[in-house]
């Protein structure tokens, strides 16, 4: 898998911009994607969802893969 700045990571970051965790799901990280989606959804009720939403975007963009 390509590293930071690859087209796949840019697409994953854009996906996470619209739906938190979707980029991680596209990268094959199911449990982390589910965690980010649930955490962001719950935190938006307290106006803190932007924290995990940004985390999801940045994490998808900087993901280097295994190996």
The pLDDT, as a whole number, for residue 2 is 57
> DSSP secondary-structure letter at 29?
-
Domain ranges in the chain are 7-62
The pLDDT, as a whole number, for residue 39 is 94
Sign, Cα dihedral of 12, 24, 43, 19: positive
pLDDT along the chain (67 residues), means of 10: 72 94 95 95 90 92 80
List the Cα angle 17/21/26 in 5-degree steps. Answer: 95
The pLDDT, as a whole number, for residue 9 is 92
Q: How many CB atoms within 10 Å of residue 31?
A: 8
Token pair, residue 37, equals 């989606």
List the Cα angle 36/64/20 in 5-degree steps. Answer: 20
């Amino acid at each position: 898998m390509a590293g930071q700045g690859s087209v796949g990571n840019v697409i994953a970051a854009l996906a996470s911009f619209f739906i938190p965790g979707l980029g991680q799901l596209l990268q094959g990280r199911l449990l982390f994607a589910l965690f980010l989606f649930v955490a962001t959804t719950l935190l938006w009720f307290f106006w803190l969802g932007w924290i995990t939403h940004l985390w999801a975007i940045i994490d998808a963009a900087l993901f280097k893969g295994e190996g």
